[in-house]
Structure 1
Amino acid sequence: MEKKKLIQFRNIVKDFDGQIVLKGINLDIYENEFVTLLGPSGCGKTTLLRILGGFLDATEGSVIFDGEDISKLPPYKRELNTVFQKYALFPHMSVYQNIAFGLKIKKVSKDVIEQKVMKMLKLIGLEGYENKNVTLLSGGQQQRVAIARALVNEPKVLLLDEPLGALDLKLRKEMQYELKRIQQEVGITFIFVTHDQEEALTMSDKIVVMKDGEIQQVGSPQDIYNEPENKYVANFIGESNILSGIMLEDYKVKFDDIVFDCVDFGFKEKEPVDIVIRPEDIDIVECNEGKLQGEVLSVLFKGVHYEVIVETVPGTTVKVKMHVIRNHDVASDDGKEKISANDFYVDIEDLKDLDDKEIVARADAQAWNPQADEYISINKIEYDLKEEIGEYPVTFSTANGTSIQRKIFVVNQTYVKNEKANEAVMAFNFFKTVDEIKESVALDTDLKTWANAQGWKLSDDEQSVDISVDYSFDVDDIKEGVYEIVFSTTGREFKIHTTDYVEEGKEVGLTFFPEDIHVMEKMSF
């Protein structure tokens, strides 16, 4: 028998003071489903719940409930009730009085109220607690009372806005199963909001994964976990090994320069894709038996399994020296202009691409009026570079003749090659003043720029490789001297969950089946 659509969100848009929180949500919810809206704080899940409850109006779109547009109905006329994280129980009332409150408002007869309240107490496992003050109950018991108070009104839908958030871990796990039991017993639709993936996987019939006001995927817990539609969902639900690859053709995917059989199809030939392999789907075997080989970097005991990190492709690292020098501005005779610049290194092969703009950028040359605190144009750059290794003077000048001379060091810069990772990395020593470092608002980015750090694929030098930067100095306490800066690419590390212990430092093989490789479309940002 086909299930009946109970709730239909149609193109729901919500705008708060110009900020769009929901971006055209379309979603169907069926009778007797346990549906979880899952996502991080700020993704719009609670806003969507509040629109359904009638506590907020959508900017655009409509909410269809049991075939009727309820967008303009006030909350009390909607056939649903809400349980909030803060249970909002009446502290001066007993358990019985709290549960009975809604029925008394509706002027239900006393004997019917008693029958319904006692039935609810049995459902939530609090028989014998009817005369207790709610302030004397535990958090879990208070939550059950709040659920009973909502269910006693016999709504068609129960909305639950992160109701387990205030409970400790053990009680929260117990209540996950309890909520699912209650939902199955009363046979109505539950819509549950959480950012906790375990709660969603444990209780739901359907999970709606949200991000930045948009739905990323809708499906059963098994679908969401085993067949995530994109990298975001794979990362948010469960632990994942996410890799970039190329879908060569149906059932053939390439990553880490190796072609693997998979069960996915329907992609374009040679389409860039993301790939997820779950940690529990990878087996550690002897080196010669593995589809991949690597070194065990760490082993962590997690209670029911070991979490093992294996590096299959090492990262590529290059170290350079940052020469921190004292500030050396040159001022004009009248004090109305100042100019500064730094020495810099350039690879002999890059000389052909070195023009005035590049020289200004590499030297971080600038001129300014110190009285007005305004920049002044550098309109003259003098240099005589030869395609030979050596030191060459360069002079920067303003229109009024304020000038500064620095050096360009032409070097035959070596680069670090990593054949296994199919990549190379290069960076240059560089000079900076104390003030330039302290005034940087994006130091990691600036360090890469100052060192002209770059990485590329050996098989295609037009394909760049992401680089991270590491340093040990304290920016606020930087002094003149020489500091080591490390630029690195990220190696390929796999996380594996296994019940078998393996030693750190051991060379191992990794193996998995074609159905363990889940190919996803690349996310667009």
Structure 2
Amino acid sequence: MNKIIQFKNIVKSFDDQVILKGITLDIYENEFVTLLGPSGCGKTTLLRILGGFLEADSGEVIFDNENIADLPPYKRELNTVFQKYALFPHMNVFDNIAFGLKIKKMSDDVIRQKVTRMLKLVNLEGYEDRKIDQLSGGQQQRIAIARALVNEPKVLLLDEPLGALDLKLRKEMQLELKKIQQEVGITFIYVTHDQEEALTMSDKIVVMREGEIEQVGTPVDIYNEPVNEYVANFIGESNVIDGVMKEDYLVSFDDKDYTCVDHGFKENEEVDIVIRPEDIEIVGRGRGVLNGKVKSMLFKGVHNEIIVETARGSHVEVTMTIYNKEPIFNEDAGEYISANNFYVDVQDFDELTDDDIIARADAQAWDAETEEYVGFSNVTYEELVGEDTYPVTFSTSKGTSITIQMIGVKQRYIQDEKKRIGIAAFDFFKTLDEIEESQALDTDLKTWADAVSWDLDTDEAIEVRNVDYDFEIEDLKPGKYKVSFSTVGREFKIHTTKSSEVDKNVGLSFGPEDIHVMEKMGF
């Protein structure tokens, strides 16, 4: 095939922000090419430079072996269909399609022949006299395409033309557009952020990110062999895993080696691995290459999306002490008072205030008759010097008081070097009533233990998602209980027509051809 368009090192900036960073791309005759990427990646800017609506800061645009940088839009052998179709509301369908031909002063017979052919092409024969406001969104989109194609351009540019349509009509128009492109036999350059549109219609997909091209290839190549994590996540759904390429055809992740079909990497090179959800089969525990537990199942119409956790995340275990302590009643003052023992990190001693201590102890005093809260006049305790137990006394102005224990400790801290995750939590005290009154116990347990986790390399917070304990609330009595907090382990997303029960132990099966190895991205 012949090259019809060549972008050569195209650079474009707006207000000192570089939008296109040296784009080089070849487009061939009769191709359906899709520029795919999120908002702001530069795809529409590149299209508008080709259409002549914007001028590049540097670089060349070669069209049919001619540099067209200085040509105005109306002299370029291409037409554009925008998301807002820009049809003329005061003209009927025929006149909208014929507008460009009338500008060229073609004869009425030729115009009628060409418009009739276009109406047949877009399946709107008999709509010549309809007003634009009498058409549906899909019909208006077809008229916009017909108006562009009637001028017989060599290239048709389409800037997210299906974005305003509902889902069902959008899917229908995807097939219709591909059919039209094949019938007219010209180059279509299509801009979208919709991966399904790109996969459905394109001969070639150009995946863009932040003004650069990440990968160019057929839909099959882009989907099955993404070059990096960005492309893998943008095209379809993916399970992306950190791994090590030990040698050709052998990759390792989560302390296990797997045969794969990839080669050409350095020995022991750190890589990313992608396994598509539809390439994983759920089997009986012990019958696959991995074992795990079903965490969730979501019905998505044509398939179920099942999440299976195969490896536990980083975790820390603390002690929850349950005690049944009644509030103290001061009959002379007519007041009740209560407070809990609590732990505090010795590193927080210097910043600890009376209000902090009241909050940590959940200290409260209230009028016995009105049940209105009473403020504390004094919070007294010894000097805090290190890991020890410190009596703390809370008193009201009427002399009602209670003494509890503030226990200075070093936070229970786990540093998981393999996963590069830190996780920490405190032992804590609670009454039976507080546990029984909890509306969201897992969330409250995380709050009471001050459970936190973070990335050891970036210090970014990581969600502490799992809370495990071996007690039933209705069976609780005063005593000590272990509570474990953990981050999410290795989770695999599986798309399957099978169903499975949550918390069921299962196996996961996939083969060497399902493991796709990619280079680590540079940021």
In the other structure, the counterpart of 1:117 is: 115
CA distance in 2 between partners of 1:62 and 1:429 (Å): 66
Counterpart residue type for residue 90 of structure 1: F
Aligned-residue offset at 1:33: 0.2
In the other structure, the counterpart of 2:239 is: 241
CA distance in 2 between partners of 1:423 and 1:15 (Å): 39
CA distance in 2 between partners of 1:420 and 1:503 (Å): 31
Residue in structure 1 matching 2:223, options 222, 225, 249: 225
* Equivalent residues in 2 for 1:46-57, closer than 5 Å: 46-57=44-55
CA distance in 2 between partners of 1:504 and 1:141 (Å): 46
8 Å Cα contact 1:309-1:496 kept in structure 2: yes
CA distance in 1 between partners of 2:220 and 2:52 (Å): 32
In the other structure, the counterpart of 1:315 is: 313
In the other structure, the counterpart of 1:19 is: 17
* Equivalent residues in 2 for 1:413-492, closer than 5 Å: 414-415=412-413, 425-427=423-425, 468-469=462-463, 488-492=486-490
Aligned-residue offset at 1:491: 1.2
In the other structure, the counterpart of 1:345 is: 345
In the other structure, the counterpart of 2:188 is: 190
CA distance in 2 between partners of 1:268 and 1:409 (Å): 53
Cα distance, 1:143–1:413 mapped onto 2, change above 3 Å: closer
Residue in structure 2 matching 1:260, options 252, 258, 261: 258
Structure 2: gaps of 5 or more residues: 320-342, 353-382, 391-405, 429-445, 466-482
In the other structure, the counterpart of 1:290 is: 288
* Equivalent residues in 2 for 1:1-400, closer than 5 Å: 3-318=1-316, 345=345, 389-390=387-388
Would you say how many aligned residue pairs link Structure 1 and Structure 2?
421
Residue in structure 1 matching 2:494, options 490, 493, 496: 496
Aligned-residue offset at 1:344: 7.3
1:224-265 CA-partner distances (Å, limit 9, x unpaired) = 100000001100111111111111111111111110000111
1:440-495 CA-partner distances (Å, limit 9, x unpaired) = xxxxxxx9xxx896679xxxxx9899751469xxxxxxxxxxxxx99743311111
Cα distance, 1:44–1:424 mapped onto 2, change above 3 Å: closer
CA distance in 1 between partners of 2:17 and 2:459 (Å): 35
Cα distance, 1:362–1:229 mapped onto 2, change above 3 Å: farther
Cα distance, 1:122–1:282 mapped onto 2, change above 3 Å: same
8 Å Cα contact 1:307-1:496 kept in structure 2: yes
Aligned-residue offset at 1:507: 0.5
Aligned-residue offset at 1:418: 8.4
CA distance in 2 between partners of 1:146 and 1:11 (Å): 32
Counterpart residue type for residue 268 of structure 2: K
CA distance in 1 between partners of 2:269 and 2:460 (Å): 20
CA distance in 1 between partners of 2:459 and 2:289 (Å): 24
8 Å Cα contact 1:80-1:155 kept in structure 2: yes
CA distance in 2 between partners of 1:272 and 1:468 (Å): 22
Aligned-residue offset at 1:423: 7.3
TM-score by length of 2: 0.74
CA distance in 1 between partners of 2:463 and 2:220 (Å): 39
CA distance in 2 between partners of 1:310 and 1:84 (Å): 43
In the other structure, the counterpart of 2:515 is: 517
SS at match of 1:49: helix
Cα distance, 1:418–1:77 mapped onto 2, change above 3 Å: closer
CA distance in 1 between partners of 2:454 and 2:154 (Å): 58
CA distance in 1 between partners of 2:296 and 2:500 (Å): 9
8 Å Cα contact 1:468-1:487 kept in structure 2: no
Structure number with larger C-alpha Rg: 2
Cα distance, 1:429–1:496 mapped onto 2, change above 3 Å: same
Counterpart residue type for residue 518 of structure 1: H
Structure 1: gaps of 5 or more residues: 322-342, 347-358, 366-382, 393-407, 431-446, 457-461, 472-484
SS at match of 2:286: helix
Cα distance, 1:68–1:255 mapped onto 2, change above 3 Å: same
8 Å Cα contact 1:426-1:455 kept in structure 2: no
In the other structure, the counterpart of 1:506 is: 504
Counterpart residue type for residue 52 of structure 1: L
CA distance in 2 between partners of 1:470 and 1:486 (Å): 10
CA distance in 2 between partners of 1:500 and 1:235 (Å): 24
CA distance in 2 between partners of 1:45 and 1:113 (Å): 34
Counterpart residue type for residue 276 of structure 2: R
1:283-323 CA-partner distances (Å, limit 9, x unpaired) = 111112111000111122222211111111122344889xx
CA distance in 2 between partners of 1:171 and 1:511 (Å): 37
In the other structure, the counterpart of 1:324 is: none
Aligned-residue offset at 1:125: 0.6
8 Å Cα contact 2:289-2:509 kept in structure 1: yes
CA distance in 2 between partners of 1:489 and 1:168 (Å): 39
Cα distance, 1:463–1:55 mapped onto 2, change above 3 Å: closer
Percent sequence identity over aligned pairs: 67
SS at match of 2:141: helix
1:110-150 CA-partner distances (Å, limit 9, x unpaired) = 11111111111110111111111111111111111100000
Aligned-residue offset at 1:100: 0.5
CA distance in 2 between partners of 1:211 and 1:455 (Å): 28
CA distance in 1 between partners of 2:184 and 2:127 (Å): 21
CA distance in 1 between partners of 2:522 and 2:118 (Å): 48
Cα distance, 1:108–1:315 mapped onto 2, change above 3 Å: same
Aligned-residue offset at 1:500: 1.6
In the other structure, the counterpart of 2:361 is: none
In the other structure, the counterpart of 1:352 is: none
Aligned-residue offset at 1:425: 3.4
8 Å Cα contact 1:30-1:189 kept in structure 2: yes
In the other structure, the counterpart of 2:364 is: none
SS at match of 1:468: coil
